[in-house]
Amino acid sequence: MGELRTAPTPLSHGAPQARVLPPWAKMEPMPPSSSQREPSGERATAGRRKPSGARVQAPRNEPSGEPAQATGDESGKRRETADIESSGERARSVGRAPSDRRTGRPARISRAEIVAAAHKVLDAEGVEKLTMRRLATELGCTPMALYHHVRDKDDLLRMLLNDYADQVTWPDLPDDPKQRILVAATAMHDVLAARPWIVEVLTEGDLFGLSALWVSENIIDAAVAAGLTLDRAAHAYRAIWHYTAGEILIRGNAVRRAADQRPTYRDQVFADLDPETLPRLAELGPRWAALSATDTYADGLRALVDGLLAPRSGTR
């Protein structure tokens, strides 16, 4: 029935008597005896909690038979590892291959690197081959990394045009209106001839570099100073621009064909022309390819400007 406790009763004439409590009575828990208390030696010390600075977590994958004994250096290294693991992103990227890391963060590529790589592709392969994927391959990054810098191909081309135009040092212009037009148009030609792809971009859409408006402004202003109305001055500029762009594209293709040193269909046709029906062309035939590659821009520009500024009957 369990251990019974006795309670003293009031003193009577005889010796004190013990009263037996029934088993169902509520009993207070008895304090542990001295033999049940823990000794104050090694067991008591082991039960105490170590200070937080001395607590060391055993590393993962520790062999079960070899408990870790932490030294001061090992404790510092393990705390450092725990700090890295708790930092989130750093812990997820440790030990992973680049392809496994988060791709939403922009790659560390600069604007200058994008411009240089794009010029390399344009000069070697042309405008049509310049795509975001091709540029990313050239840079060694993902296409998505480029979209942190440019929205699309048009935005990329606009950036290239502005970057190139900003680097141009435009010449000082003379006071004479005609000479001003000639100098400004020649400067435009030389700048575009160095990057023929720009002409392709300018003739296909409405993209242009803001700094290049220097040419339009000065040619139109000089034409007005020469006596043309503002509208006719704008027409004069357009004629000069069309001549300049056409000369760069057509002669550039002729230069490339001549450099290939391979016979073309035109060469074959001109070599077999009938001198009786086409005497002039038949005479020029063997030299036609070389003549087509000759730079005659300056002569054509002077003739064009003379005609544009020549007095006309009625209003200009």
In a domain, 240, yes or no: yes
Residue 11 buriedness (CB in 10 A; 0-12 / 13-18 / 19+): exposed
**Which region holds residue 305: left if phi is over 0, alpha if psi is between -120 and 50, else beta?**
alpha
Range(s) of the domain holding residue 240 = 177-309
* Averaged pLDDT, 207-224: 88
Per-residue pLDDT at 147 exceeds 50:
yes
CATH of the domain at 251: 1.10.357.10
Return the closest-CA partner of residue 309 out of 171, 176, 214, 191.
176
| Domain count across the chain | 2
Tell me, rounded to whole angstroms, the distance of Cα 276 from its chain centroid: 62
Gap between the Cα atoms of 78 and 203, Å rounded: 65
Which one has a higher pLDDT value, 138 or 71? 138
Considering the entire predicted model, what is its pTM? 0.59
**Which region holds residue 256: left if phi is over 0, alpha if psi is between -120 and 50, else beta?**
alpha
Same domain, 232 and 192: yes
Same domain, 121 and 241: no
Per-residue pLDDT at 46 exceeds 90:
no
pLDDT digits (tens, 9 = 90+) for 47-102: 455 444 444 454 454 444 444 444 555 555 555 554 544 444 444 444 444 434 44
Greatest mean pLDDT range, 86-95, 188-197, 199-208: 188-197
The three-state secondary structure class of 127 is coil
The pLDDT score that the predictor gives to residue 206 is 72
Ranges of H-type helices in the chain = 42-47, 72-86, 89-93, 111-125, 132-139, 143-146, 153-167, 177-194, 196-204, 213-225, 230-260, 265-271, 279-284, 288-292, 297-309
Return the closest-CA partner of residue 252 out of 191, 197, 183.
197
pLDDT digits (tens, 9 = 90+) for 298-310: 999 999 999 999 9
CATH of the domain at 154: 1.10.10.60
Q: Which helix (H) or strand (E) holds 19?
A: strand 18-20
Same domain, 225 and 295: yes
In a domain, 163, yes or no: yes
